[in-house]
Amino acid sequence: MRHTISVLVENKFGVLARIAGLFSARGYNIASLAVSETLDPAMSYMTIVVEAQDEKILEQIKKQLNKLIDVITVTDFTKKEHVDSEVILVKINYSAKDKVKLESIVNNYVAKLIQHKGNTAIIEMVGGGERIKQLLEALSHFGIKELIRTGKIAMA
Amino acid sequence: MIGAQVLIECLKREGVEVIFGYPGGQVLPIFDKLYDADIRFILTRHEQGAAHAADGYSRATGKVGVCLATSGPGATNLTTGIANAYMDSIPMVAITGQVKTFLIGNDAFQEADVTGITRPITKHNFLVKDVKDLARIVREAFFIASTGRPGPVLIDIPSDVQQQDTEFIWPEEVKIRGYNPTYFGHPGQIKKAAKLISQSKKPIIYAGGGIITSGASHELKELAEKIQAPVAMTLMGLGGFPGTHELSLGMLGMHGTAYANHAIMEADLIIAVGARFDDRVTGRLDAFAPHAKIIHIDIDPASISKNVKVDVPIVGDAKNILGQLLQEIKKAPDTSDWLKTVETWKKKHPLAYKDGGKVKPQYVIEQIYEATKGEAIITTEVGQNQMWACQWYKYDHPRTFLSSGGLGTMGFGFPAAMGAKVGYPQAQVFDIAGDGSIQMNIQELATCVCNKINVKVAILNNGYLGMVRQWQELFYKKRYSYTFLYNPDFVKLAESYGAVGIRVTKKEEVRPAIEKALSIDNTVFIDFHIEPEENVYPMVPAGEAIDRMIDGLA
């Protein structure tokens, strides 16, 4: 099962390697990871989506993260009310005759057509997991050539 | 003041009396300042020796051990010793030189990404990029190494930082917002634990290295006596409870005593203190202690419920928590029947070996025990020598049994003995070694002799890598694949370094040789030619429940 965890860390070099190293050394899987500075530039905020088979492993992940000296707080969003979001870019096959159809999908999902070159188009969307899933489904019959996601960020 | 001087000044303020290390190109400024400093420096003959010596010093004294090496190979040679200290939660500060800041990442001569390499084997590490940060970093390093669950901390200092000028400012306080170890047990959990203890009929205390780290031996003894519970110790816990005490079951686990293993399997309550349910202790996990409720006391929350499910977790320092528990337990359980059962196991399955014509390793250790009246500091290498040292010497005091528990590092015992002797010059320090292990850091003979660090080394010489050979005998049809050793003449070897060598080939020579070694004011190697195919028993085959022991005596 996937769990979203956020980790507030000291904004020091090497801190990302510490977190990533912890996951790889202990055999935990990272599904996505988003990192950036906070309002206070001395700290960074990481949102990590982890793959954990059971509660015990999730507990271990949180405890091991907490053990790192550069980790200030660990928040588990699994049982916590929160909002989350990510940015995706989707490149699809596209020709002018699909214009109306695509525009309606794009409007429907509050996405954006940000580039149209030759016979491909790039759509951008910001949103939660379910809406992204639906958009991708709607776009699938155009033929998706490429998909890039930033990874989830979450806030309670 | 230049960076190198700042470092020395900080070490002095941290109370460092001795540094084990090896010089090199990127630590020249530090060595130049060490030349005039009133800190003892011990030049080992290999950086691994320095790391293990610092570790042994720390295990024996409880102080933070310090080792120092140059960049690149100097630092990578320290890593086994750092990993060893990390696995056993030993407070240590390792200082390494690094290439100049502007060369980092350039594949410069003797460059290695040391903070990268040591990240998973240190509690924390630092690369000092600005000399202004140095004093604070050293202060934090010692603080982190010695508090909470202790461990090694590495400070990597580029040589240009060592030479830069700065104003020396000693930070009086250390504040690390992400680091706040818990020291006292939650009162609610203490109450729950006390209740379980009062209700138990067959309690057992399972004591680990945390007892020794936190200095909780006294409280542990009080608790065991108050609730009349037998005490089984892990390898790291030996000495945490007196081995000669009637409630002691000695060591449990793969080569533990049969009675310790039976007792933990039959117990209705396990009080685990500063131990981590390592696989060498639990054997097959799903068969481990099926009837027991578990109270787990540990300073590291991540150790709790990692391997086994725990009923009452208590996070905090063992000494404090045992003190809290002692106050909370109003009614001691009636364990008289239980202790009788344990006594029957002790009578029925004592530690035993078949004495014969050849020198038996168990006999050698018994004789060392008697000759030193149980008051020596014993270090071990890894393998059969280590297990026999666990079984046949009784440790009554904490910090008298120093052994590589978690990492299982051959080559640990000799330099660790050296470190222990530096910490306790008045103590007799004995390394119980094998003929394989001793050769892994034998170069430290020079260090011992030059610095008059007089340790005694009992080489249990069977001409094999004995523990591996034992597994090959029992589980690989006696196919002794590369476990036979061609050895040097250890007596001549010791002599060539200016130490003393004694060879023992007969049983009647054992005790006189030990007495002689103890009386000699020099480092002594005793080369005991022991029964070549003697096995360590009892033994729990890997993957079996821990009461499924084989004893090899039938």
CATH C-level class of B361-529: alpha beta
Per-residue pLDDT band at A52 (split at 50, 70, 90): confident
- pLDDT in the model for residue B551: 82
**Do residues A57 and A96 both lie within one domain?**
no
- pLDDT in the model for residue B96: 98
Range of the domain at A59: 2-76
**Do residues A94 and A147 both lie within one domain?**
yes
Per-residue pLDDT band at A141 (split at 50, 70, 90): confident
Last residue of a domain, one of A49, A76, A103: A76
pLDDT tens-place string over residues B367-376: 999 999 999 9
Q: Are B323 and B214 spatial neighbours (Cβ–Cβ below 8 Å)?
A: no
| CB-CB under 8 Å, B178 with A9 | yes
CATH number for position A58: 3.30.70.260
Signed CA dihedral, A111, A113, A115, A121: sign only: positive
For B112-150, b where at least 16 C-beta lie within 10 A, e where not — what string?
A: bebbebbbebbbbbbbbbebeebbbbbbbbbbbbbbbbb
Chain B residues lying within 8 Å of A68, measured CB to CB: 178
- pLDDT in the model for residue B311: 96
Joined tokens for residue B173? 């306080």
Q: Tell me the backbone φ, ψ of residue B18, rounded to 5 degrees.
A: -145, 145
Q: B458 to each of A53, B367, B504, how far by Cα in Å?
A: 49, 11, 10
CATH number for position A143: 3.30.70.1150
CB contact B285 to A (< 8 Å): no
pLDDT tens-place string over residues A75-130: 999 889 999 999 999 999 998 888 899 999 999 999 999 999 889 999 999 998 89
**Do residues A72 and A87 both lie within one domain?**
no
> Hey, where are the domains in chain B?
3-163, 187-348, 361-529
**Do residues A66 and A109 both lie within one domain?**
no
**Do residues A68 and A95 both lie within one domain?**
no
Joined tokens for residue B224? 């065991």
CB-closest option in A21, A59, A69 to B144: A69
Q: What number does CATH give the domain B3-163?
A: 3.40.50.970
- pLDDT in the model for residue A78: 86
* Number of Cβ atoms within 10 Å of the Cβ of B373: 8
Q: How far apart are CA B263 and CA B338, in angstroms?
A: 9
Check if B3-163 and B187-348 are the same fold: yes
Q: What number does CATH give the domain B187-348?
A: 3.40.50.1220
Q: How far apart are CA B178 and CA B96, in angstroms?
A: 25
Give the residues of chain B that fall short of pLDDT 50. Answer: none
Last residue of a domain, one of A50, A76, A102: A76
**Do residues A47 and A94 both lie within one domain?**
no
Last residue of a domain, one of A76, A108, A134: A76
Q: How far apart are CA A106 and CA A138, in angstroms?
A: 10
| pTM confidence score | 0.95
Joined tokens for residue B48? 């691994």
Which residues, in sequence order, are CB contacts of A29 under 8 Å at separation 6+? Answer: A23, A50, A51
- pLDDT in the model for residue B553: 64
**Do residues A59 and A93 both lie within one domain?**
no
CB contact B120 to A (< 8 Å): yes
Q: Among B517, B466, B510, which Cα is nearest to B494's?
A: B517
- pLDDT in the model for residue A55: 87
CB contact A11 to B (< 8 Å): no
> Element (H or E) spanning A45, and its range?
strand A43-51
**Do residues A91 and A50 both lie within one domain?**
no
Structural domains counted in chain A? 2
| CB-CB under 8 Å, A69 with B176 | yes
**DSSP symbols for B425-443:** TTS-EEEEEETTGGGGSTT
- pLDDT in the model for residue A98: 86
**DSSP symbols for B205-218:** EEE-HHHHHHT-HH
Chain A residues lying within 8 Å of B179, measured CB to CB: 69
**Do residues A65 and A15 both lie within one domain?**
yes
**Do residues A70 and A90 both lie within one domain?**
no
Give the minimum alpha-carbon distance from A70 to chain B in angstroms, rounded to a whole number: 6
Q: B165 to each of B3, B68, B130, B157, how far by Cα in Å?
A: 6, 21, 10, 14
- pLDDT in the model for residue B355: 86
